[in-house]
Amino acid sequence: MEVLVLGGTAWLGRAVARHALGLGHAVTCLACGESGAPAPGARLVVADRGAVAPGDGPDPYAALPRQEWDLVIELTWQPGFAVQALRALSDQAHRWVYVSSGSVYADHGVIGGGQELPLLDALDTPRASREEYGAAKVACEQAVRAVRGPDALIARSGLIAGYGDPSDRFGYWVGRCALAVQDGGPLLVPERTGRPAQLVDVLDLSAWLVDAALCGCIGTVDAYGPRHTLEDVIAQAEQVTGFGGPRVPVGDAVLRERGIEEFMGKRSLALWMAHEQWQGFSAHDDSSAVGAGLVARPLEETTRAALVWERELGLSRTDRAAGLDRDDELRLIALTSPGAVGDDLSGRR
């Protein structure tokens, strides 16, 4: 079949293209070409969808062959891009998939919540800032429904993890355990590790997006993986790396006092979510995904894949998108638990 991926040269889009190619389908990726190379065997059509406003300037879809597509998979979070793609391609597409996000929900405090939760108000402008991500995804969903009606698959993904993750969130823990094995130091963890931590492996999600769509799956699916806890994630990271050193638990209040961000971003403690109004973000109902055939691999496999990626990037790198630099972590440990850091690591403080 003919599969068109709008994106397709990085992270989830590349995994989607790779899976479709592995099934023997012909895959075309429309991308600006700055995020990486397409999967081997995919045809890359270079076009910058953000170069001009919709209807103003060169048509970024003009370089695509004029043909019918068995499947179009759209990943954008910019409403203008979504609208423009639908106008240009919907009449040529037999099946349409839009990869949305659980960030569309307005209430993240409900443990086990699902599609009954309210949505954010849709963004009413074609271009969105990163802070408007959730509202922008709502607007993209609305654009898909306005053109395709019920004849589309809208997949609201949870946290995606595995090899190639650019966010550093899930991989932080297995990478940090591996580094602690190397330097012999302790591991800083939140005091309460029993809080939710939910993820879907990039290989499972990408395979399901292609397989389900080509089998005719339509409607809205919360494409989440099984519910875990942060303790599950850390314990699996320890097991995979062989880390047997001490943990140093630090309470929420102390972490906040030291300026540590929650969940993601620079100088954060990855996946740590202390605020009660966010506990449901990583404890979402996955029944619609299971019912639609999304099969999750064991957490160990995702952890091992993340470790390979962490080693390729460099365990001791200091430009993490999420997590703490090792020196910063050891300083925090020394401040909160004097004596926990050995003399051989004192120079790093």
Phi and psi torsions of 287, nearest 5°? -65, -35
The two tokens of residue 273 are 């979510």
DSSP readout, 213-263?
HHTT--EEEEE---EEEHHHHHHHHHHHHT--S-EEEE-HHHHHHTTPEEE
Per-position pLDDT tens, the chain of length 349:
999 999 889 999 999 999 999 999 999 999 988 888 899 999 999 998 876 555 566 788 998 999 999 999 999 999 999 999 999 999 999 999 999 999 999 999 999 999 999 999 999 999 999 999 999 999 999 999 999 999 999 999 999 999 999 999 999 999 999 999 999 999 999 999 999 999 999 999 999 999 999 999 999 999 999 999 999 999 999 999 999 999 999 999 999 999 999 999 999 999 999 999 999 999 999 999 999 999 999 999 999 999 999 999 999 999 999 999 999 999 999 998 887 776 556 555 4
The two tokens of residue 21 are 């190619």
pLDDT at 90: 97
User: Going by CATH, does the domain composed of 2-157 fall within 3.40.50.280?
Assistant: no
pLDDT at 348: 56
Domains 2-157 and 162-199+227-277+297-348 in one fold: no
Instruction: State how beta strands 261-263 and 219-223 pair.
Output: unpaired
Q: In the chain, what are the domain boundaries?
A: 2-157, 162-199+227-277+297-348
Measured CA angle at 344 (ends 343, 349), to 5 deg: 75
pLDDT at 49: 86
pLDDT at 338: 80
pLDDT at 52: 54
Q: Which CATH number fits domain 162-199+227-277+297-348: 3.30.70.980, 3.90.25.10, 2.130.10.10, 3.20.20.70?
A: 3.90.25.10
Burial class (CB within 10 angstroms; exposed 0-12, middle 13-18, buried 19+) of 232:
middle
**Entry pTM:** 0.95
> What is the number of other CB atoms lying within 10 angstroms of the CB of residue 334?
17
Contacts of 160 (CB under 8 A, 6+ apart): 11, 12, 199, 200, 201, 202, 205
pLDDT at 58: 73
Q: How many residues can be counted in the chain?
A: 349
pLDDT at 349: 47
Please identify which residue in the block is written with the tokens 């099969």. Answer: 295
Query: Do residues 309 and 164 lie in contact, with contact meaning Cβ atoms separated by under 8 Å?
Result: yes
